[in-house]
Amino acid sequence: MKLYLWLLKFSVFVAAVAAKKDVRRKLTAQLNPGCPENICDDAGNLTNVVHVTSLGASDAIHYIWDLTGKPSALVALCGPDTKLNINWEGFFDGKANTVMFSDAPRYTFGVVLNRLWEYNDEEDVGTFTVTNSSQINAFSLHEFAWERKSFLATEDSVELSVKSRGLHGLPGNFELSLATFATPDHGPMTPHLMHTENSTQIDLVLDTVQTNDSFPQPRFAIEVVLVAMEPKKDNYTVVVKKSLDDEFTPGIFKIVNVASPASVNASSGGYLQYRPVSYTDEDRDVSTSTQTYQSSPATPNNAIKKLNNTVFRSIFGDSVETMLVQSLNVSFGTSGDGFYTKYNYTTWTFVVGYGAPLPDKLSL
């Protein structure tokens, strides 16, 4: 039995090593590509648009991370020679068609972090099911000013890290880190999510956020908008899977996949993948972990408005209305954990990708 297990693990290892070689892509990245000095240099560390080209054998996957409006991450499958061009003045004026691919992408998917909800969980249920609107405050992530902490780019990985001091009514230390990799692997930091060669990992930290005094049992949730170049007739699906082991994410035996219809049906759509875990300390461990919960995806009344001030409207203009746009709320914390104020620290890490979410693999 033990030998059998060993052989199984060994063969998975060999397969993974072989797969890694097969799928290595080559990354090139630019921060604020083509931005004139009078626009980008004057803004110091506040203008952060990253363009990554991930070149494969017969195509290129382009990522755009835009922190100038609502934080957004886009994944586009393009031909190998496609170029990106940004008309910076029009882009800052929020005009359509100011971010242009030289050839129309074959497929596009992405996420927008639209709003942060602060709510008073009077009944300590954990989930974000409060309906009394005076127990909920909404903060537009568009209003946050994101300052660049670091930008690192090599052929194998690209990382951008930004921080914000929040807003009037919600001061604190907010951090976002985005990273993409040339090969599939587990991410370097806990929860060590698996990423494919076609994905971006996003990590959010809410540190010492000053919650509202009138909310004695405060929690946070975030509104995530999903955008896919797919027909509007279907919905994104949320599947919570039991995972085989927790070696990479101690204590967490579940994995959540939020996938577009084309990802579910043909492995050629967009998806989000994460472990339903949030950490209450910089030291991420099982003892500092709490849960996350998500709502079902729902279609917004006005996709154009939802995607205003995002790279999606800068590319597609009003035709975002023809795309599959839905949003979901992800809340941080669980019943009995003492609410946000017990530690004043919350994290959420997720992967946004093209293809299909990876099945849970045996650890190596």
Ligand X SMILES: *[C@@H]1O[C@H](CO)[C@@H](O)[C@H](O)[C@H]1NC(C)=O
Which residues form the interface with ligand X (CB under 6 A)?
44-45, 56, 59, 61, 77, 94, 117, 132, 134-137, 147, 149, 163, 169, 196-198, 210-212, 214, 223, 233-235, 261-262, 265, 295, 298, 304-305, 308-309, 327-329, 341, 343-344, 354-356
The nearer residue to ligand X, 7 or 271, going by C-beta atoms, is: 271
For residue 13, how many C-alpha atoms fall within 13 Å in the half-sphere facing its CB?
8
Which residue's Cβ lies closest to ligand X?
355
The nearer residue to ligand X, 294 or 334, going by C-beta atoms, is: 294
Instruction: Give the whole-angstrom CA distance, residue 224 versus residue 361.
Output: 27
The nearer residue to ligand X, 326 or 334, going by C-beta atoms, is: 326
Q: To which residue do tokens 């509202």 refer?
A: 212
DSSP secondary structure letters along 28-68? EEEESTT--HHHHTTTGGG--EEEEEEE-SS-EEEEEEE-S
The nearer residue to ligand X, 7 or 285, going by C-beta atoms, is: 285
Phi-psi region of 324 (alpha: psi -120 to 50; beta: other; left: phi over 0): beta
Instruction: Give the whole-angstrom CA distance, residue 153 versus residue 52.
Output: 9
Q: How far is the CB of 257 from ligand X (least distance, A)?
A: 13
The nearer residue to ligand X, 7 or 212, going by C-beta atoms, is: 212
Task: Of 280, 296, 247, give the one whose Cα is nearest residue 348.
Answer: 280
The nearer residue to ligand X, 273 or 334, going by C-beta atoms, is: 273
Supply 261's token pair.
């219809």
Q: How far is the CB of 10 from ligand X (least distance, A)?
A: 22
Q: To which residue do tokens 């033990």 refer?
A: 2
Beta strands in 245-361 (DSSP E): 254-259, 269-274, 277-279, 289-294, 324-332, 345-355
Q: How far is the CB of 153 from ligand X (least distance, A)?
A: 18
The nearer residue to ligand X, 7 or 19, going by C-beta atoms, is: 19
Contacts of 108 by beta carbon, 8 Å cutoff, 6+ apart: 74, 75, 76, 77, 227, 228, 229, 315
Instruction: Give the whole-angstrom CA distance, residue 194 versus residue 274.
Output: 9
Q: How far is the CB of 126 from ligand X (least distance, A)?
A: 15
Q: To which residue do tokens 């996420």 refer?
A: 111
The nearer residue to ligand X, 154 or 302, going by C-beta atoms, is: 302
Q: How far is the CB of 203 from ligand X (least distance, A)?
A: 16
Instruction: Give the whole-angstrom CA distance, residue 38 versus residue 200.
Output: 30
Q: Calculate the CA dihedral of residues 24, 30, 32, 37 and round it to 10 degrees.
A: 180
Q: How far is the CB of 91 from ligand X (least distance, A)?
A: 12
Q: Note the maximum CA span of the chain.
A: 67
Q: How far is the CB of 286 from ligand X (least distance, A)?
A: 19
Q: How far is the CB of 73 from ligand X (least distance, A)?
A: 16
Residue 286 has phi, psi (to 5 degrees) of -60, -35
Q: How far is the CB of 266 from ligand X (least distance, A)?
A: 7
The nearer residue to ligand X, 86 or 222, going by C-beta atoms, is: 222
